[in-house]
Structure 1
Amino acid sequence: MHNAPYGDTAHFGIPGGIHMLHRRRLAMLAAVPLLVGSALTACSGNDDAAAKKAPAGDPVAKFVRTAPGMAAPSAAELGPHEDEATGLTITPGVETLTVTGAKKSAAVALENSDGQVILTLLADDEGQAHFAYIPDKPLTVQSGEGDLPTIDGDVLFPGIYRVRFGGKTSADVRVLGVDEVAGDDFYAKQKLGDGFGYVTMRDGVTLSVDVSLPGPIEDGPYPTVVEYSGYSPSKPDEPQPGSMIAGLLGFATVGVNMRGTGCSGGVFEVFNPAQQADGYDAIEAIAAQSWVKGNKVGMVGLSYAGIAQLYVASTRPPHLAAIAPQSVIDDPWREQWPGGVYNGGFTKQWLEERTRQAEAGGQSWDGERIAKGDKTCGANQLIRSQNLDFGKFGKALVNFPPSAAARFLQLLVPRIEVPTFLTGGYQDEQTGGRFPYLFNKFDPDTFHRFKLYNGHHPDGYSPMLITDWYEFLSFYVAGEIPNIADGIRQASGSVFEENFGIDQNFGENRFADHLPDDFEGAKAAYDAESPVQVLVESGADTNPVGTTGERVRWDFDQYPPKDAKKTTWYFDDDRLLSDAAPSGEGADSFEYEPDSGRLATTSASSTDFQYSQTKLPIHYEQAPEGNLVAYATPELTNDLVLAGPGYLDMWVKPGADDGAVQVDLTEVRPDGEETYVQSGWLALQHAGEYAELTDEYQVEYTFIQRDREVLKPDEWVHRRVPIMGVTHIFRKGSRLRVSVQSPGRSRPLWSFVNPEAPADTQVTIGRGGEHATSLVMPKVDGLEIPEGLPACNTLRGQPCRDYIEVSNTPAGE
């Protein structure tokens, strides 16, 4: 593939790629002695606090985490069942049920507790059938073809079911909910040693793992972190980046392949409850090992492995110490359908790659293990024929299905009760910039440290952030005062130069004054720092310019900060953004471009984005005059700082019965250049705002079918277009500009499949009277502003172009 989605295990494993460290350099770094510290520290949350933030009675969200009215599952209810009546092996899992032992094309029917058949699957070539999605009316469908029976239906909810086969009916089997876990003995009896192995899930599926200890088992226990994803974290001798760095810094690391990937068994899915439950089981089994310090583990990983941490932590494994997710999303559906517009670029490619890699032998290294005699790996490949085609699956879900709430992280993070270190870039070219919507959903009584910056997907492992990451893991997983050995610090510069283009080392040991044993004092100092830290204008002053590194750090109490001022600018005539709404009616129009979403914005691959911004071939071009409307403030008389998400409060005549808009924020600079800041999108048929999640600055839509309306081309509709979170300084003498156009042109690696509309469709935007359109954003005063306007195309994630004035077309002309 041209773009290496989210991560490529041929590289250092950072989504977007960081080249593998040379083995001899690894050996050199590993040989440098590490200093160790004191006792393990962890923190737990509060069920009541989490419950208060979860939407109560939410009609959009359908959660069934346990089987109603049933006690905790017994050992006999877990794992595969050899059913005497049917002769089948029936494996009930978390919201899934798998049948093996049938004959090819034989009918396998699933009935509910009332004896009603709800779905019949015809077994695949291996005699297998996998039930996960249930249609709203009974169907008979061939299994193993990668398709859903229909998109009209629901998931297989927890409860009692039976299987009919060959005129016989099985004994009752219990499909589990994500919160129905195995007993402590199930995890404690599993044994893992250094190197490759398998860990068993509550349904009997085995996941492949690779354990790397910093020394002999007998010299442990060791502080331990887990990296969990569908890439190749359990591939022997090739750890993913989070594990590699943690291992160099003295942690034991465990890479775990999600079910249906690598050598792991089970049917692969994207962030489904079974995958979440597997994370719980893996954490509990790993934490039970004698070589794990304090019998608690942390989690690490960026992108796929970062997102997975949030899901796993929401299941509340008792022996999870802390998580450190980086470059994450807030919801898989909203990632594939930003603003309800299909992302036909990076996300589509990523899902297609997941489908390919989840095929039997799809990661190559699993085939190599099978060839060398790994029978478990070989047996685990057989069920892969039951995997879905996720690209096709995701594109079919044009509306948000309520059962997908089980994967909507804004609804799940209130359940997280462990310390969290979360970082991300507003302009992330892969996962986007919706992650700040998660911040105020976390339990406020649980420790969190959020770091935000302008920049790219891989930047979380850059020298700008990696020392902070290590400090968090030291305090909250290792229970030690952070202390990087001088030899590792000195050797790290060449590694960062190779992978990020900047010769910079790990940071200094900020808590050295507390060594050797004042752990409580060091941790108190760390905890007292601001929970939200904004790294400002990354790339502007680095050497070379355009590489990672902030000019200044701003400390906030939350994001947006409490003292932010809600500020409104109104569309006015003569292309102006004004402080007051025009009293008279007015409107401008542009010609809708269905094909604008398909325009290429870069020739770079995702492996290029860790290097200098100045070297990226970004084709950041303005839409032609007549295909957008744009409004800008007068030249600013003072510096202006926007910090947080916002929205365009818009009145629009869509010109067709369907359509979509993109809103771009840019800075028009005094030197005649224009710098990209942030975007938002909305498919205009989506009319229902999600009341439980919408607040002063966040506008969230339900995207469900019943809140969708067919538009009347020449009638006004009111929509608020969400603009993702961003922090940006608009310098004195610059102008804040807002443009409205068809989706496309502004995001490298993303493209859009825009709704179709008749040729020459005119979209009309109101700008006065009863149809005043305005921009609403949080403004923050009193901050330290670095001197000097950053050179064009040095700010990471923020391409720059020559400013071109446009003449808005008054409606009707």
Structure 2
Amino acid sequence: MSLDEAYWQSALPEATFVDFEVEKEIYVPMRDGVRLSTDVYLPTGADGKLPTVLVKTPYDKDVGEGSVRTKWVDYFARQGYAVVVQNERGLLLSEGSFDNYLQGASTDGSDTVDWIVRQSWSNGRVGTIGCSSSGEHQWAMASGNNPAHSAMVPGSSGTAVGNLPGNDTRGAFYRGGIPMLANWALWYGRYVPTERLMLPSGSTQEERQRIRAYFALSGRRGWRPDSPERLRHLPSKDVLREAGGPLTPFDDYMTRTPADHAWDEVEFIGAGDEPRVPALHINSWHDLASGETTRLFAYLQSLNTPDQYLIMGGGPHCAIWQELPYQITKALAKEMFAGMTTTEMDATPAPDMRSFTFGDLELGDVRYRGVDHGYPKLYLAWFDKWVRGRENGITDMPKVQLFIMNQGWVGADTWPLPRTVPTTYHLTEDPDAWRRNEAGGLSTDSPANDLVDSFVYDPMNPTPSLGDELGFHAAIDQRPVSARRDVLVYSTPQLEHAVTVVGPIKVDLHVSTSVKDTDFIVRLVDVYPDGRAINLAHDGLRLRYRDGFDAPEPAEEGTVYQIVLPNMVTGNRFLEGHRIRLEIASSSFPMYERNLNTGGNNFDETEGVVARNSVHYGAVHGSSITLPILPD
């Protein structure tokens, strides 16, 4: 990677400015008259016009992304940038209403950029940065191609992705038409209520500053609506009501289907959008929406969109976002470790990215290798190129950079990687399987016999989730779940040679059921020689949508249906002695909303029906998983 060494020696070792000044609670007007709560940080003593970094966020500006304590304000202001942090409309002290996800994201973002470039301190260029929701809003904004929006760094932002080719998840709200219950109950319930305390009209900047300094703006810190006990409540559309939470868009979303045209009102980035803003697509393999991130990158690549770069790291949602010395700070960790006391928080060390473990997965050194081993240095170089106007060679890096778990970093210029070989592993009979509490095997050879494996799925005793939630500990040993009678397990023999899987994964199944509707959930697992079974990716399909989300049909008892589950993606090296495993169940609760098997609406029902579900495989009804294998 050819980066200008003189640039790094001059720009990075020390901050250019020792301090900065802040003006809080500026009301910036949008085109419809709504005013958004905005803070402006300027480096003390800076002369001339400044490049600007903008963080738009739904979170408390004094606690979440964009605060001084999470380093971005401090980091960029000390490097000579103006930093603007703004709350989204309808949230905290911003005016307006939050009636929909990404409410006003496209126009509000562009209007804010226009306001910035009119300021006396602006050089006329703005870069945007942020992770999770602070990354997602950047995509709607970029779709408008404001000429002053010069660069962007959206992290873990796949939930902004809508109807792209091959993506039918409505911003990761669904997997195969199944609502992702736990994640969205938590996010909507805690962070973005429709109901909130309102400021009196005509409030002054000084009044807003005093209110913000005195009152807690971020809601009930220890309140978690996503506990399994609370999410067991039926009907599922009322889980936030039962938990005592305020009204949110989630209440409406749970009553929709994936084909509901009401989803079109959400400002997802989708087919037809052609953003031209130079972008670093940053995510990690265990993120909720890693598949959406890679599919968006592939879509923009198909349009020959210039200056798009994909970086997939190791770890869960936003964990790689800030690394040594800009790790996950305690301000951000307080959100993730919700429910801990302050004393417990202070006693919890930030993860060391040089030897990073989350849950039961040991990743080793996950630091970014491309730019002097640091994501923050990468982001600074990116903005220095596009927002400050310095030529530093940053665009010479590979378009695609991937941290392969159990291996390390690889680079290429396209996604999926051009050298990967789609390799099909068939579900097959394994005479020794039952001794290992499994259903069968996985083999690259086609099976000769026709077989069927069945299990009983009781929605009142659903197969539980173990890992895969939004949070730090997403990679968990699956053995307690794998041993259940309502889970089918198919594994290869111990590998004689390592197998590297990088890219999108497709599962083809032939299934049948005894009820009118049910779900099928699949999970890719890396089985270690000591028996640990680490989850890598998951997907699901609600059987009524087997012919399309706009054509739901009840199932007929005993009829065999072919279904395809295309949403999994990973980058993992299955080492010698490991086994590749596919697990199949009919629930993963509370991560997925459980199907009550009645064939009804599901979201408004309180009684379930027990299902006998079957997976068929063999010469006639072949079931398989296709893995993109990267040759050594």
Q: Please give the TM-score of this superposition, normalised by the length of structure 2.
A: 0.72
User: SS state of the match for residue 261, structure 1?
Assistant: coil
Give 1:296 shift.
1.1
Q: Which residue of structure 2 aligns with residue 798 of structure 1?
A: none
CA offsets 1:527-573 (integer angstroms, 9 cap, x no match): 12211101233xx7xxxxxxxxxx62100222221121111111111
| Aligned equivalents of 2:28, 2:480: Cα separation in 1 | 51
SS at 1:744 equivalent: coil
CA gap of 1:465–1:536, structure 2 versus 1, over 3 A, is: farther
Asked whether the equivalents of residues 36 and 94 of structure 2 are also in contact (C-alpha less than 8 Å), the reply is yes
1:570 aligns with 2:426: yes
Matches of 2:69 and 2:139 in 1, distance apart?
A: 18
Aligned-residue offset at 1:582: 2.3
Superposition pairs for residues 792-803 of structure 1, below 5 Å?
none
Cross-structure match for 1:780: 630
Residue 294 of structure 2, aligned match among 433, 436, 443: 436
Partner residue of 1:250?
Answer: 80
- Specify which of 149, 152, 155 is matched with residue 323 of structure 1: 152
Partner of 2:404: 536
Q: Which residue of 1 aligns with 2:575?
A: 731
Partner residue in 1 for 2:143: 314
Change (3 A) 1:388 1:625: closer
Q: What is the CA-CA distance between 1:345 and the residue it aligns to?
A: 0.9
1:278-317 equivalences in 2 (<5 Å): 278-293=108-123, 295-317=124-146
User: In structure 1, how many angstroms separate the alpha carbons of the residues matched to 2:292 and 2:461?
Assistant: 22
Q: Call closer, same or farther: CA 1:334–1:300 in 2, change over 3 Å.
A: closer
Query: Is the 8 Å Cα contact of residues 426 and 455 (structure 1) preserved in structure 2?
Result: yes
Corresponding letter in the other structure for 1:254: V
- SS in structure 2 opposite 1:213? strand
Summarize the Cα distance change of 1:754–1:737 in structure 2 as closer, same or farther, 3 Å threshold. same
Q: Does the C-alpha gap of structure 1 residues 618 and 245 become closer, same or farther in structure 2, counting only changes over 3 Å?
A: farther
Q: Does 1:552 pair with 2:382?
A: no
Count of paired positions:
514
Kindly provide the CA deviation profile for residues 633-688 of structure 1, in whole angstroms up to 9, marking residues without a partner as x.
23323211111111111111122111111111112223333222211111111124
Instruction: Identify which of 424, 427, 431 aligns with 2:286.
Output: 427
Q: CA deviation at 1:624?
A: 3.9
Post-superposition offset of 1:303: 0.4
Alpha-carbon distance, 1:463 to partner? 2.2
Written as runs of structure 1 = structure 2, the 5 A alignment for 1:20-31 is none
Structure 2 match to 1:188: none
Distance 1:667 1:751, change over 3 A: same
The answer (yes or no) to whether the contact 1:530–1:557 under 8 Å persists in 2 is: yes
**Secondary structure of 2:485's aligned partner:** coil
CA distance in 1, matches of 2:211, 2:171: 39
Q: What is the distance in 2 between the residues matched to 1:718 and 1:342?
A: 21
Q: Deviations over 1:138-179 (max 9, x none)?
A: xxxxxxxxxxxxxxxxxxxxxxxxxxxxxxxxxxxxxxxxxx
Which residue, out of 377, 395, 399, partners 1:527? 395
Give the aligned residue type for 2:184: T
Q: Is 1:457 paired with 2:317? A: yes
Does 1:275 find its partner at 2:105?
yes
| Pair 276,587 (structure 1): closer, same or farther in 2 beyond 3 Å | same
Aligned CA distance change for structure 1 residues 641 and 686 (closer, same or farther; 3 Å)? same
Question: Within 2, Cα distance between the matches of 1:598 and 1:552?
Answer: 33
Distance 1:414 1:525 in 2: 29
2:40–2:84: 8 Å Cα contact kept in structure 1? yes
Find the partner of 2:39 among 199, 210, 214: 210
**Matches of 1:729 and 1:459 in 2, distance apart?**
21
Give distance in 1, aligned partners of 2:93 and 2:463. 37
Preserved contact between residue 333 and residue 400 of structure 1 (Cα < 8 Å): no
Q: Which residue of 1 aligns with 2:166?
A: none
Alignment counterpart, residue 340 of structure 1, candidates 153, 173, 177: 177
**Structure 1 residues 509 and 424, CA gap change in structure 2 (3 angstroms):** closer
2:453 matched to which residue of 1?
588
Secondary structure at the counterpart of residue 769 of structure 1 = coil
Secondary structure of the 1:346 match is: helix
- The CA distance in 2 between the partners of 1:688 and 1:638, in whole Å, is 39
AA in 2 matched with 1:444: N
RMSD: 4.0
Equivalent of 1:224, from 52, 58, 61?
A: 52
Q: What are the superposed Cα offsets for residues 262-291 of structure 1, whole Å, 9 maximum, x if unpaired?
A: 222111133346332111111122122221
Any stretches of 5+ residues in structure 2 without a counterpart?
Answer: 1-11, 163-168, 213-245, 328-345, 356-366, 431-439, 599-607
Residues 617/627 of structure 1: CA separation in 2 closer, same or farther (3 Å cut) = closer
Residue identity opposite 2:174 in structure 1: W
Contact 2:510 2:561 in 1 (8 A): yes
Q: Which whole-Å CA distance do the structure 2 matches of 1:403 and 1:605 have between them?
A: 27
**Structure 2 counterpart of 1:770, from 614, 620, 625:** 620
Separation in 2 of the partners of 1:344 and 1:681?
A: 13
Per-residue CA deviation, residues 92-124 of structure 1 (Å, 9 max, x unaligned), is xxxxxxxxxxxxxxxxxxxxxxxxxxxxxxxxx
**Pair 1:657-2:516 in alignment:** yes
Q: 2:306 aligns with which of 446, 463, 467?
A: 446
AA aligned to 1:526 is I
Corresponding residue for residue 675 of structure 1 = 534
CA 1:656 to 1:249, structure 2 compared with 1: closer, same or farther past 3 Å?
farther
What residue identity is the alignment partner of 1:742?
S
Q: Which residue of 1 aligns with 2:26?
A: 197
Q: CA deviation at 1:336?
A: 2.6
- Residues 477, 535 of structure 2: 8 Å contact kept: no
How far, CA to CA, are the matches of 1:374 and 1:669 in structure 2?
54
Q: For the residues of structure 2 that align with 1:245 and 1:402, how far apart are their CA atoms?
A: 42
**Do 1:663 and 1:680's aligned partners in 2 also have CA atoms closer than 8 Å?**
yes
- Determine if contact 2:54/2:85 at 8 Å carries over to the other structure: yes
Q: Which residue of 1 aligns with 2:90?
A: 260
Q: 2:215 matched to which residue of 1? A: none
In the alignment, what sits opposite 1:714? 558
CA distance in 1 between partners of 2:271 and 2:80 (Å): 32
TM-score (norm 1): 0.57
Is residue 628–residue 740 contact of structure 1 (8 Å, CA) maintained in 2?
Answer: yes
CA distance in 1: counterparts of 2:410 and 2:107, whole angstroms: 37
Question: 2-side partners of 1:632 and 1:728: how far apart?
Answer: 16
Aligned partner of 1:389 among 248, 266, 277: 248
Q: For 1:457, what is the secondary structure of its paired residue?
A: coil
Indicate the SS of the match to 1:721. Answer: strand
Query: Do structure 1's residue 351 and structure 2's residue 188 form an aligned pair?
Result: yes
**CA distance in 1: counterparts of 2:314 and 2:627, whole angstroms:** 17
1:438 is matched by which residue type in structure 2?
L
Structure 1 unaligned runs (5+)? 1-29, 37-191, 376-386, 468-494, 541-550, 690-702, 783-813
CA distance in 2, matches of 1:334, 1:596: 29
The verdict on how the C-alpha distance between 1:594 and 1:413 changes in structure 2, with shifts beyond 3 A counting, is farther
**Residue 267 to residue 567, structure 1, CA distance change in 2 (3 Å):** same
Write the deviation string for residues 397-437 of structure 1: whole angstroms up to 9, x where unpaired.
13332352454746158411011011111212x55653222
Distance 1:709 1:334, change over 3 A: farther
Provide the rounded CA distance (Å) in 2 between the counterparts of 1:410 and 1:724: 20
Partner of 1:14: none
For the residues of structure 1 that align with 2:552 and 2:613, how far apart are their CA atoms? Answer: 19
Label 1:607 to 1:337 Cα distance change in 2 as closer, same or farther (>3 A).
closer
Report which of the two structures shows the higher radius of gyration computed on alpha carbons. Answer: 1
Report the equivalent of 1:490: none
CA distance in 2, matches of 1:529, 1:751: 38
Q: Is the 2:510–2:562 contact (alpha carbons within 8 Å) kept by the matching residues of 1? A: yes
One-letter code of the match for 1:434? E
Q: 2:172 corresponds to which letter in structure 1?
A: E
Check the 8 A contact 2:283/2:290 in 1, yes or no: no
Partners of 1:714 and 1:425 lie apart in 2 by: 40
**Which residue of structure 1 lines up, in the alignment, with residue 240 of structure 2?**
none
Indicate if the aligned counterparts of 2:316 and 2:472 stay in contact, CA closer than 8 A. Answer: no
Q: Using the TM superposition, give the Cα deviation of residue 754 of structure 1 relative to its aligned residue in structure 2, in angstroms.
A: 2.6
Change (3 A) 1:598 1:197: farther
- Distance in 2 (CA, whole Å) between partners of 1:457 and 1:764 is 34
